[in-house]
Amino acid sequence: MPGGWRKWTGIGLIGLSGVWFALMLSVPFWPFSFEVKALLAILFLVLMEVSFWLGAAIVGKQALSRFWAARRSKREGPAEGPGDGPGQT
């Protein structure tokens, strides 16, 4: 499967952004000074954004093409024969 590792890398990076987010939310409960907590929260925020957008950039094209293909097939529906279209009596 060509490109399969890219898909899983992108999904892994998006999942990792959730881990960074959870760590960022837990920082206020850690036993460090305010300055260290602020630095850690900013660090986790940056790591979260970078990993999410890298993962989205890797997976994005595949996910977007899959989304549009599903949407297109839904919109087109079953094929119509001659005289079956709208406005035909």
CB 19 within 8 A of CB 26: no
When comparing pLDDT for 69 and 25, which is higher? 25
Give the pLDDT confidence of 44-59 residue by residue, as tens digits. Answer: 999 999 998 899 888 8
Q: What are the domain boundaries of the chain?
A: 4-72
Q: Which residue has the tokens 């996910």?
A: 63
DSSP label at residue 28: G
Q: Which residue has the tokens 């001659």?
A: 82
Look at the pTM and tell me if it is higher than 0.75: no
User: Which residues, in sequence order, are CB contacts of 41 under 8 Å at separation 6+?
Assistant: 24, 27, 28
Give the pLDDT confidence of 6-57 residue by residue, as tens digits. Answer: 888 988 998 999 999 999 999 999 999 999 999 999 999 999 999 988 998 8
Query: Cβ–Cβ contacts within 10 Å for residue 13, how many?
Result: 19
Structure tokens at 44: 């986790």
Q: How far apart are CA 71 and CA 84, in angstroms?
A: 23
Q: Report phi then psi at 3, rounded to 5.
A: 80, 5
